[in-house]
Copies of this chain bind each other. A is one copy, B any other.
Amino acid sequence: MTLEEELNGRFRNEYHKGLINLTYTTRQLNYGFLQTLKKHDITEQQYNALRILRGFRSQAPLSIGFIKERMLDRDSDVSRLVDKLYDKGLVSRNENPDDRRQKSVEITEKGLTFLESMGGCKNMEDNMLKCLTEKEVKELNRLLDKIREGQGYPK
The interface of chain A, by Cβ under 8 A from chain B, is: 1-4, 6-7, 10, 12-32, 55, 70, 72-74, 122, 125-132, 134, 136-141, 143-151, 153, 155
For residue A6, which residue of chain B has the nearest CB?
A: B155
Would A145 and B18 count as touching, CB distance under 8 A?
no
In the complex, A70→B8 CA distance in Å? 10
A144 to B140, CA, bound (A): 9
Bound Cα distance A4, B14 (Å): 27
Contact check, B155 vs A1: say whether CB atoms are below 8 A apart. yes
Q: Which residues of B contact A145 (CB under 8 A)?
A: 2-4, 21
Chain B residues whose C-beta falls within 8 Å of the C-beta of A128 in the assembled complex = 15, 19, 147, 151
Q: Which residues of B contact A126 (CB under 8 A)?
A: 12-13, 15-16
Using A1-B155, A6-B155, A12-B126 as known contacts, say yes or no to A147 and B18 having CB atoms under 8 A apart: no
Residues of B within 8 A of A122 (CB): 12
Bound form: Cα–Cα A137–B146 in Å: 11
Taking a contact as CB atoms under 8 Å apart, the answer to whether B139 and A143 are in contact is yes
Task: Report Cα–Cα, A122/B151, bound state, in Å.
Answer: 17
A2 and B155 CA atoms in complex are apart in Å by: 10
Given contacts A21-B141, A22-B29, contact A55 B10 (CB under 8 A): yes
